[in-house]
Amino acid sequence: MNEVVGLIREVLDRLKEIEGVENDSDLANPLVVSKRLIASWKERNSVPWQVLFTYSRKHGISLDYILNGWGSPFQTDAMVGEPGAIYSLETSADPVYRVAGQVHRALSELGAELGEEKFSETVRYLHRSMMDKGDDAVPYEQVLSVVKLAV
């Protein structure tokens, strides 16, 4: 089994644990998707970020836990690491979630898509810019400009 397949299975296993279910198909209802779609994720070795983001926001579940198994599902503080820095964020009012949501909105408005890695890089860049300025939000015009460049 390759590393990506293992990671996708781990994500699905954590979601099953949170929901208290044993089968992948039982995740369809809480994730608001069809059972067939979950099977296709396993075939493609990819779970759409938008589904995980929506689920985590709706249920107050830490994305760090869903994606990496870090901390507890309902953790209120998360450690975010990137090359050269580790910093703490409050996930109850998580600015990263807001920035990611803005990036997603901009992509929808532009009718564009970014791969997972490029999406993550874009969110990290905008979040870092926000923190460097000491702001608690990124102006949407800036998000739109950066997303246009990333696409």
The model's pLDDT over 51-95, given as tens digits with 9 standing for 90+, comes to: 988 888 888 888 878 887 876 676 444 445 555 555 444 444 467
The reply to whether 95 falls in a domain is: yes
Which pLDDT score is estimated for 26?
A: 92
Closest CA to 60 of 91, 14, 29, 99: 91
Can you tell me the distance from the alpha carbon of 102 to that of 11, in angstroms, rounded to the nearest whole number? 24
The reply to whether 126 falls in a domain is: yes
The reply to whether 88 falls in a domain is: yes
Domain that holds residue 112: 76-151
Helix (H, G, I), strand (E, B) or coil at 88: strand
Angle between helices 95-110 and 49-59 (to 10 degrees): 140
With a cut of 50, which residues of the chain have pLDDT below it? 75-79, 87-93
The reply to whether 48 falls in a domain is: no
Taking all residues of the chain, what is their mean pLDDT, rounded to a whole number?
A: 81
The reply to whether 4 falls in a domain is: no
Can you tell me the distance from the alpha carbon of 44 to that of 123, in angstroms, rounded to the nearest whole number? 24
The reply to whether 144 falls in a domain is: yes
Give CA torsion, residues 11, 60, 32, 22, to 10 deg. Answer: 50
CB 8 within 8 A of CB 20: no
Token code pair at residue 23 = 């089968």
Determine how many CB atoms are found less than 10 A away from the CB of residue 25.
13
pTM for this one? Answer: 0.50
Q: Kindly tell me the burial class for residue 99, based on how many C-beta atoms sit within 10 Å of its own C-beta (0-12, 13-18, 19 or more).
A: buried
The reply to whether 61 falls in a domain is: no
Domain count of the chain?
Answer: 1
The reply to whether 62 falls in a domain is: no
